[in-house]
Amino acid sequence: MKIAVPVAGGLLCPHFGHCEQFALYEVDASANTIINTEFRTPPPHEPGVLPRWLSEIGATTIIAGGMGARAQQLFTQNNIQVVIGANAGDPQTVVEAFLAGTLSTGDNLCDH
């Protein structure tokens, strides 16, 4: 499992398309532990580019604060699970909460 988190200023970015980087966490699914972390600068944001790029680099899940309906569809089409409504915070802490089943999510922070 590889979890992608959009990051800006070192924190989860409220909208994935406005991030500076993606934090990518490789996870041992049987132990629910992070085994590797890397940060990657995404290609320029255009419709459809980020779901395809994240799929190509092996992401299986994206955790974001907000995401438009079309982007959610594109991620799903690229076999990437979408988790939205996560609050800004340290991306590793967000992933650890997701793995523990304690990640609290709220409203989709994107209105398009």
CB neighbours of residue 68 within 10 Å:
17
SS3 state at 83: strand
Delimit the domains of the chain by residue range: 2-100
Q: What percent of the chain has pLDDT over 70?
A: 95
For 31-71, the pLDDT digits (tens) are 999 999 999 999 987 878 999 999 999 999 999 998 888 88
Residue 74 has pLDDT above 80, yes or no: yes
- Mean pLDDT score of the chain: 90
Contact 12, 94 (CB under 8 A): yes
The model carries a pTM of: 0.92
Task: Give 2-100's CATH code, choosing from 3.30.420.130, 3.40.50.2300, 3.30.2130.10, 3.20.20.70.
Answer: 3.30.420.130
For 89-101, the pLDDT digits (tens) are 999 999 999 999 9
